[in-house]
Chains A and B, each alone.
Chain A
Amino acid sequence: MARAPTPEQKAKEAAVLYTALADGANVALQFAFAAFTRSLSLLSEAIRGALMLAIEFYAFFVLRAVHRDRLGKFRFGIGQLEQMCNLAIGAGLVLSGLWIARQVVQLLLLDMPAATPLGLATAAVINSINVAINSLGWLAMFSASRSDDSAIYSAQLRARTVKLCSCFVVQTTMTIAALAKDPLISAWLDGLGATFVGALMVVIGSRMVWGALPDLLDRSVPADLEATIETILNEARITSADIAGRRTRRAGSFPHIELTLTTAGSLRVSDFLHRVRGLYGHLRRHAPDADIAIAVHPSVPNSRGSKRVEGEA
């Protein structure tokens, strides 16, 4: 069932939306001028900006959906949905980076027509607006950041830092290219800026894909979390004989931990549930965002009265 967001949540949504809209207008302007001026640096910056914008809008929609409880149908959490978007955006970044590399090679080796000095100067002016918007956005987000920020906010701040970095590099190369009177130097500097942005896109994109894949493939949680679970089990005095099954899987910020306990030693259901509640409390304290499931594995008495454990599915 959807619910109305609180005023504080609405304010957060508005902040994210207005920043994204400002970025969107900027990206549209960059695309238009990149086509007009034929500047590769500006075009690559526009593509990178558009993909980063996709992350911003994605974060915005996830935030909205979370505030309104609209993702309730994903009963195992939205961790995998988050990772799927990261994978798509990461793959998009890598492919765009490679496409820019191809364009740079064409420009430098195959004598593709380079940008004119006037075009480069206009591109530099447009990019300076981008630098100003990014600097203000980064400053606002950086001053609002806390050590316990959510994964979505941290990812946005990281994206904004990358954006600012690449903007500064492109601004430098583009300004020098516009000031240089020699078309060859202009072309090389334009190519250099595009190469930097392209390389940055490939590196960031690969990291995003590499980071998302283990989670999407249901790989078990990292060794440190496994070790934590082991410690918690020891603290809760759960021996290996009490555990019929133990499975974990990654899912973005919400790992899944599934423990199946045997009923040995529990005369009544309340005895079993007492153990479950104790263990759940321990696990919740150490992994507050995890999806924890403590299941039952029935030990059924056989005809001779001794207990046997039912076969696992």
Chain B
Amino acid sequence: MMRRRIWASRDGVPIVDFALLVLLLAAALYANSLTLIGVSIAGSTIALRELLLVSIRRRFDAGGSQNYQYGFGKILQAGNLLIAVVTIVTGFWLAGRTFDLTLTGFREISPLRLAFAATANALVLTWNGFLVHSYREPLDPATRVLQRARRRLFVVLLAIQVCLTVAVLAKDPVIAFCSDIFAAALAFLFIVVGGVKLSWDCICDLIDHPLDRDREGAIVALLTREGVKPEELADLRTRHCAERIFAELTLRIREAAPMEDACRRIAVLRRALEAEIEGLDLVIKLEGVEA
């Protein structure tokens, strides 16, 4: 029962992630493979993000949220930003090493070591494939973001696995070397592009960036559908953090109108918006109209 609960909450995922990463790093050092170092960096990014999410969530569940009344989204994104920056830096280090090796010449990787590297990569690939398959429909939005990143990692791991397998089967040291360089470049691209995208998302969330026009337009369309006329919509302020959307809606209502009617209307509006937009944190303000 306990085991099932840990599994359902993904609390155990970072533990397996880190165990596999240690194995992968050992294999990388043994095989002297830049590709596996790249895969370790990419894998550690997701493992760290999982760990961050699990630890913050536990802290908040245990009641450590009195000072953070708007949820843990920003703490999560600040942690993710740090992880992204470190990932980009290590990604560039990997690129430098790969470039250096490409220029300075050939480095032999023995077939046995390469086979070991391919096996280690296959293990990590299987684990990620299992996670992608098991959590196809994760419950909460924060986990869904991680799941998307894991799906991308799975695709890259698959491409790297093809390169490594070809290198092992070819039994030619030059092909093995070229495959390692190519796969390392692939890993570098994945790390840096993913890191830059993650950093940008985190920065936008941390600086209270508003929703894009389409998403804000969708909220306005919903309001219109619920009977809010354009002249009644005094203002709409939005911002987002992780998968949570904060919206502050100001409605113009006749000052002479009974409060009870206004309340009923606001309650209906709130229910409709919250049912349509997942993770919505809605605040409704009133502005009076004389007539």
Within 8 A of A (CB), among B241-276: 241, 248, 253-260, 262-264, 266-267, 270, 274
Q: Is B134 located at the chain interface by the 8 A CB criterion? A: no
- Per-residue CB contact flags for chain A residues 287-313 toward chain B (1 = under 8 Å, else 0) read 000000111101111000000001001
Stretch in A73-81, A150-158, A167-175, A231-239 with 4+ CB within 8 Å of B: A73-81
Report whether B280 and A313 are in contact in the complex, using a CB–CB cutoff of 8 Å: yes
Contacting residues, chain A, for B210 (C-beta < 8 A): 73-75
A187 to B260, CA, bound (A): 80
A220 to B68, CA, bound (A): 6
A269 to B281, CA, bound (A): 24
Contacting residues, chain A, for B259 (C-beta < 8 A): 263, 266-269, 271-272
Report whether B283 and A260 are in contact in the complex, using a CB–CB cutoff of 8 Å: yes
Shortest beta-carbon distance from B52 to chain A in Å:
13
Q: Is A251 located at the chain interface by the 8 A CB criterion? A: yes
Contacting residues, chain B, for A29 (C-beta < 8 A): none
A284 to B115, CA, bound (A): 69
Report whether B262 and A84 are in contact in the complex, using a CB–CB cutoff of 8 Å: no
Contacting residues, chain B, for A247 (C-beta < 8 A): 69-70
8 Å CB contact of A75 from B238, B241, B257: B238
Report whether B258 and A219 are in contact in the complex, using a CB–CB cutoff of 8 Å: no
Within 8 A of A (CB), among B149-194: none
Q: Is B67 located at the chain interface by the 8 A CB criterion? A: yes
Report whether B286 and A81 are in contact in the complex, using a CB–CB cutoff of 8 Å: no
Stretch in A121-129, A136-144, A210-218 with 4+ CB within 8 Å of B: A210-218
Report whether B69 and A269 are in contact in the complex, using a CB–CB cutoff of 8 Å: no
- Per-residue CB contact flags for chain A residues 31-57 toward chain B (1 = under 8 Å, else 0) read 000000000000000000000000000
Contacting residues, chain A, for B49 (C-beta < 8 A): none
Contacting residues, chain B, for A163 (C-beta < 8 A): none
Contacting residues, chain B, for A81 (C-beta < 8 A): 207-208
Contacting residues, chain B, for A249 (C-beta < 8 A): 69-70
Q: Which residue of A lies closest to B206 (CB)?
A: A216
Known: A220-B68, A298-B263. A268 touches B283 (CB 8 A): no
- Chain B at the A interface: SS class: mixed
Q: Is A273 located at the chain interface by the 8 A CB criterion? A: yes
Contacting residues, chain A, for B203 (C-beta < 8 A): 84
Report whether B263 and A263 are in contact in the complex, using a CB–CB cutoff of 8 Å: yes
Contacting residues, chain B, for A218 (C-beta < 8 A): 68-71, 73-74, 241
Report whether A295 and B284 are in contact in the complex, using a CB–CB cutoff of 8 Å: yes
Q: Is B78 located at the chain interface by the 8 A CB criterion? A: yes
A273 to B259, CA, bound (A): 10
A79 to B207, CA, bound (A): 8
Q: Is B209 located at the chain interface by the 8 A CB criterion? A: yes
Contacting residues, chain A, for B288 (C-beta < 8 A): 269-270, 273
Contacting residues, chain B, for A301 (C-beta < 8 A): 260
Q: Is A248 located at the chain interface by the 8 A CB criterion? A: yes
Report whether A295 and B283 are in contact in the complex, using a CB–CB cutoff of 8 Å: yes
| Shortest Cβ-Cβ A-B pairs, 5 listed | A298-B263, A270-B255, A75-B237, A247-B69, A76-B208
Q: Can you list 23 pairs linking A and B with CB atoms under 8 Å apart?
A: A74-B207, A76-B208, A218-B241, A219-B67, A219-B68, A220-B67, A263-B263, A267-B258, A268-B259, A269-B256, A269-B286, A271-B259, A272-B259, A273-B286, A276-B286, A293-B285, A294-B285, A296-B284, A298-B266, A300-B260, A300-B264, A313-B274, A313-B281
Q: Which residues of A contact B (CB under 8 A)?
A: 73-77, 79-81, 84, 213, 216-220, 247-249, 251, 258, 260, 263, 266-273, 276, 293-296, 298-301, 310, 313
